Structure 1
Amino acid sequence: MLRQAGPLDGKVLIDCTNPMEPPFENLKTGTGPSAARRAADASGARVVKAFNLCHESVWRMTPPVFGGRPLGVPLCGDDAAALATVRGLVADLGCEPMDGGGLDRAGLLEATTAFLVGLWVAGEDPSRMVPPPAHAGDGSEPQVTSG
């Protein structure tokens, strides 16, 4: 697919893929590099992993808001300018960008997605497993770093 896209050197590429298949127990990338890292290495693009946690129907919502809270969108990438571009796209959708770290953490995001999809397929509600921020640590409000 990357070869069909033509030259991507230096361009911003958003990787919204999930390297998994039923029964969602393992990533197709195994213990190797994430799909995002592979795309960056193969294309020369400035890759940002984003928009991979939700079904495509969520992205058709204007805006994606649940329980009065805008959807948070984790971003993983190494290029500050590419991350700023994708943060802008996330905000334009009415969502909140979340700093997920460098591209080396994209594999964690891919694995999280596979785990969540497995729960959804099993009929579970994964949103119940994450407490509100006030109860996730020492009770203090989290400090947003992706602003």
Structure 2
Amino acid sequence: MSARVQKLAVKVADRSRPLLEPGETVLSVRLAQGGMPPVAAGFLLGGLLAISMLVFKVGGALGGLLCGLLVASLVTRRVIVRTDQALLLLEYGKLTFSITPRRVLARLPQDTTVAPSGGFWAVTHVAGEKLYVHKKWQHEFPIHQPTT
């Protein structure tokens, strides 16, 4: 497990705590995305950039920004949090760089299985939503609680 990914998992767990029930403890975190498949989003972004440069003569940073915003609006960003009481599906912002969960989309039984199939972008289903999990997030990363 990458130390960078583990550090991000701990940060996301800390940012998720306000959405938990009182006394609930985060055990593990996964990041995922829904909506448009990631590979399709990449192709769409490339196609939109080419069209913006050739047809509309909008290139460079402005074209990249406009195309990126359009593609980002088609993707949903999710956090899968396993706690000592439940499995939570959390939503976080589309057009933000920070991973700060905003609301609980689903609260499932704690023993709910989230088993993404292999591959670079694994597919899994949580609370009826098809999610894509990047290779580096396909394993649950335990969040070590500070000892008191």
The interval holding the TM-score normalised by the smaller chain is: under 0.3
User: Which has the higher relative contact order, 1 or 2, with Cα contacts under 8 A spaced 6 or more apart?
Assistant: 2
- The structure where strand makes up a greater share of residues is 2
Give the greater-gyration-radius structure (CA): 2
Q: TM-score, normalised by structure 2?
A: 0.27
